[in-house]
Amino acid sequence: MADKVEREIEEILARLENELPPAEEKKPISILSRRQRPATRAPRSSPLRALRRISPTSLMFTGAGLVVGGLVLSNAWEPLIWLSMAGVVLFLGAFLSSFVREKPASTPAQKGVYWRDRYIEYEPASPGLKDRIRRLFRR
């Protein structure tokens, strides 16, 4: 058995010495190659674009901080309870905006992996709860 394996290895090495296999250029395997991506434009600077960069997560933490801070500080001065009410409104607004918010254009829509030294892109996932809620409010 070992002699047979050694003979096969020697035959393969002898063939490789005579001719080298052609070097193939490694290109990504694109499952979505039929879909054309739209051209991106340079972003315009506006106050609304600056507000879009603020993530709902940071607004939720800010709202929670205002709630706690307002409750603690309202012991010293009672009108500061309105600060915690503003925190509740901010928290709920950020929670609702997390369902409506679209992904920024800078993040790739498709992700893939390397498998056997080739990049493979996967198809987009099926629409989840977030997309269903968006479609409901778009009508």
Q: What is the pLDDT of residues 64-106, one digit of tens each?
A: 999 999 999 999 989 999 999 999 999 999 999 888 866 555 5
The kind and range of the H/E element at 114 are strand 112-115
* Longest pairwise C-alpha distance within the chain: 92
Query: Do residues 28 and 121 lie in contact, with contact meaning Cβ atoms separated by under 8 Å?
Result: yes
Each residue's pLDDT tens digit, 108-132 = 555 677 777 777 777 666 667 777 7
Q: How many residues does the chain have?
A: 139
Each residue's pLDDT tens digit, 54-66 = 888 999 999 999 9
Domain ranges of the chain: 54-102+109-139
d(CA 2, CA 8): 10
**Residue 109, Cβ density class (10 Å: 0-12 exposed, 13-18 middle, ≥19 buried):** exposed
- pLDDT over 70, % of the chain: 63
- pLDDT over 90, % of the chain: 25
